[in-house]
Structure 1
């Protein structure tokens, strides 16, 4: 940083300080020297420029007026160039600068202003060179930290080597990825997550009303997934500190992208495991090996749970799968977690009593609710499986229990057999039986829809979802009531079941439920 004190330290310039100015003025950044002989330099001098003058304006204006113009422009100070005609700095100029708390120095007759300008350029060049060398050195250190697997903590360690700053890395879910010199509270992390959710994110965030922190967003794939946080206001950071933080944020983007890639692969493998389990005998041989890949013993007792939010209109929030996995791993439980559009499923090794499984599930729901304030999670439990070959039924049971809890809005945890729903009866039958029943009832409707481009199945499902109310169903389908009546008459004709009779309506509803149950 180019300062007036740095110029004064250069003996070649033969500068002599006459007025020090306000406290700290000599150490403030100077933008550049500005040579002027105008009586009022304020229209042309930029803020933080150092005014160089020989006093040729002295016959046209008073020194106090000239100094007032420099102050008005925000000048960093004045250097008065002595000449043969003016071998001493005018006392009036010294008095005016003293009154205005503006630094004033005089330069020897033997030294031209160009020497001062060259000295300023040399200081800038040296400092810029030092900054570039520092950036290259820091870049090498950051690259080494990332490549050696030091992660976000390694990046902060490199930063702290050059700058003693309180730092933290927080992701968009409010999770701490690393920190040094600071310990953020849950409320402060939530404030950071809220700030990251804005578009674009702010450059500064108020953590708790009294602490301001500068934000340096960390992007991965076209979005901001985390932020490098410095617990100082952005205005208090020097250019070197800002450059270092910006550079570190870019390296952190590599780390976040790597983490996302690993998580995406794990999620794909976990989702494939659920497909293997649901496929039954077709892919049963693949299940044990996939469980072993996640550290879960396929030969031991296993449990399955499904987690979602009680509001059926709330999709599975980003980060729910990670929250479930982090909780269970913190409980020293080997687990596979797969996130879907409607729920998150966990398959975990379980050798303890079922009572303790229920207690674990309750703590999991509490932990998820704390992570996602304002949302009410529910959890469906399947009956424990003796080993990997018996996972299909617990998986289906857990997901169905979760779906029932979502529709009912709670309670937080339930086992499928406790729910007293028709889905329990459906769950007692083999998939082939359910598929045969659904096909026998709905097959003619599907065939008609496929051949005629109709919507009989959709119409039937919508009619039953609206409790058989004609007007509400027609409005939901955007059709006239007479059109709805014609469609449902066709349903009666093709299935032999009248939608106005309770017994037939039960058959149709169970056929739709059985069709959805096996998917």
Structure 2
């Protein structure tokens, strides 16, 4: 029951003395009658505090009483003097100061009558709430038995908070929605800001975002509402937070249903990677949808916080469930089906998300490996594009992926290729590296096989003098060298790219040659220094 309803009830003479309209939306949890000067210790929050003003001895007592009620979370104060005297102005002012609505109870309205009426109203509402909870439990149980309860949860949540809500992935893919889907461009822009925000819940543009946490920003889902959560009443804020927790539990329930298949997939990948027996591999491959003629591609990922397998699984789900955008090829027009009504569209999309087969994925010491049956032809580019948009979620961490070639005849070969490509990615300094099998002929593959101490010594021997000089003189000789080699030692292009005069560039290169004792006109020197820069 809200405070506003007190003015609509047949309570003769009850009068609101102070309290703006927004405060009248407060919920009343119960009624508390008191004549204590400081009743705070006996309040739990949300009470309508009835008082006969016996506690008031002097004007400053009003400030203490109103402050105690406000700090304890009381919804409002209803005061009345048995003599019929007006409510003291100091109490009105104190309630105004502490943003606590104040009602005047006339002498003809007994406190007992007001208390009895409110008790009946609140009891009726709680009984209705229990019935509603039972009804909702039944609906959710039915939905869970049928497959997934995400859509029903969002629909019930939208009814309670009075606004639409959505569940999105870090790649802005819609998982479930209570209303019309969010426009893709809007969802993508919002999720990019969410990944940068770090702390959730947060207001992003005109919406509020709560985390459905899974352990990593790259695998979390996001519960999105219209409006600013900081302006909601405490009940609505608590409901949104609880809803995010319930959705996280539902997500774990869906994952648990896949666990037996995931264990088989992990066993298959381990057997392939460790050169297991042909019969053992074939038995498990068939169970997870990898037949003898299935074209398979392998991926290896090294990510932060022991989340490599979870991140790899999330990325594969994104690239295989990605919906076509404007300009991309879709199904032929003659194969199109009449559109489903919106509720059926939401449930069909969610069912696909929950029921698609899992990819065989296994966790190793510092990386994870997945087998991708019948992969999309541009899977490497798709992964690269996704990680570019999701990179803010990494913070300062790094992530590398290696992709093997598409092979039907040798699972072991494609896993080896993916792992070799991963080594190349990890040898680079980029925050995100996605390396395809076509890059296995690169010199970086050779460098990635060197022991770390050898790499460090080689790099320090060639670049150490430049770094020392840069530190002492606040110069940028190392950066100049890198740009000069990247421009194939073209003086003009390098000077233009660095926005310096060619004579300035010539002076810097001369200083580099002096410090390293090497001539940059020599091809062997160029190769040595180029490799040292790549080893940083």
TM over 0.5, shorter chain: yes
Contact kept? 1:338, 1:346, Cα under 8 Å: yes
The corresponding residue for 1:399 is: 419
After TM superposition, give the deviation of residue 290 of structure 1 in Å.
3.8
Contact kept? 1:381, 1:414, Cα under 8 Å: yes
Flag structure 2 segments of 5+ consecutive residues without an equivalent: 325-355, 462-536
The corresponding residue for 2:319 is: 327
- The reply on whether 1:283 has 2:277 as its aligned counterpart is yes
SS of residue in 1 equivalent to 2:147: coil
CA shift in 2, pair 1:419/1:138, >3 Å:
same
After TM superposition, give the deviation of residue 323 of structure 1 in Å.
0.1
CA shift in 2, pair 1:211/1:295, >3 Å:
same
SS of residue in 2 equivalent to 1:396: helix
The corresponding residue for 1:147 is: 145
CA shift in 2, pair 1:299/1:66, >3 Å:
closer
Contact kept? 1:174, 1:192, Cα under 8 Å: no
After TM superposition, give the deviation of residue 106 of structure 1 in Å.
4.2
- Rounded to whole Å, the distance in 2 between the matches of 1:405 and 1:413 is 9
- The one-character-per-residue Cα deviations of 1:96-141 (angstroms, maximum 9, x if unpaired) are 96998875544455x6433333333333333333333323332332
For 1:120-269, what aligned pairs fall within 5 Å after superposition?
Answer: 120-169=118-167, 176-181=174-179, 183=182, 185-189=187-191, 192=194, 204-208=201-205, 211-213=207-209, 215=210, 228-234=223-229, 236-238=231-233, 241=236, 244-245=239-240, 248-249=243-244, 251-262=246-257, 264-269=259-264
- Rounded to whole Å, the distance in 2 between the matches of 1:318 and 1:247 is 24
Flag structure 1 segments of 5+ consecutive residues without an equivalent: 351-355, 427-459, 472-519
Structure number with bigger Rg = 1
- The reply on whether 1:32 has 2:31 as its aligned counterpart is yes
For 1:298-447, what aligned pairs fall within 5 Å after superposition?
Answer: 298-300=292-294, 302-308=295-301, 316=308, 318-328=310-320, 330=322, 336-340=359-363, 341-349=366-374, 357=377, 359-373=378-392, 375=398, 377-382=400-405, 384-385=406-407, 387-388=408-409, 390-407=410-427, 412-415=435-438, 418-419=441-442
For 1:33-112, what aligned pairs fall within 5 Å after superposition?
Answer: 33-36=32-35, 52=50, 76-80=76-80, 86=83, 89-90=84-85, 103-109=102-108, 112=110
CA shift in 2, pair 1:381/1:261, >3 Å:
same
- The one-character-per-residue Cα deviations of 1:309-365 (angstroms, maximum 9, x if unpaired) are 6x9999847412320343145499999452433243334337xxxxx94x5423332
After TM superposition, give the deviation of residue 9 of structure 1 in Å.
1.7
Contact kept? 2:422, 2:435, Cα under 8 Å: no
Contact kept? 1:152, 1:255, Cα under 8 Å: yes
The corresponding residue for 1:487 is: none
After TM superposition, give the deviation of residue 33 of structure 1 in Å.
4.3
- Rounded to whole Å, the distance in 2 between the matches of 1:160 and 1:363 is 34
Q: Determine which structure has greater relative contact order: mean sequence separation of CA pairs < 8 Å that are 6+ residues apart, divided by chain length.
A: 2
TM-score of the pair, normalised by structure 1: 0.58
TM-score of the pair, normalised by structure 2: 0.57
The corresponding residue for 2:265 is: 270
SS of residue in 2 equivalent to 1:372: helix
The corresponding residue for 1:440 is: none
RMSD over equivalenced CA pairs, Å: 5.2
Contact kept? 2:79, 2:87, Cα under 8 Å: no
Contact kept? 1:20, 1:103, Cα under 8 Å: yes
After TM superposition, give the deviation of residue 4 of structure 1 in Å.
6.9
Contact kept? 1:156, 1:179, Cα under 8 Å: yes
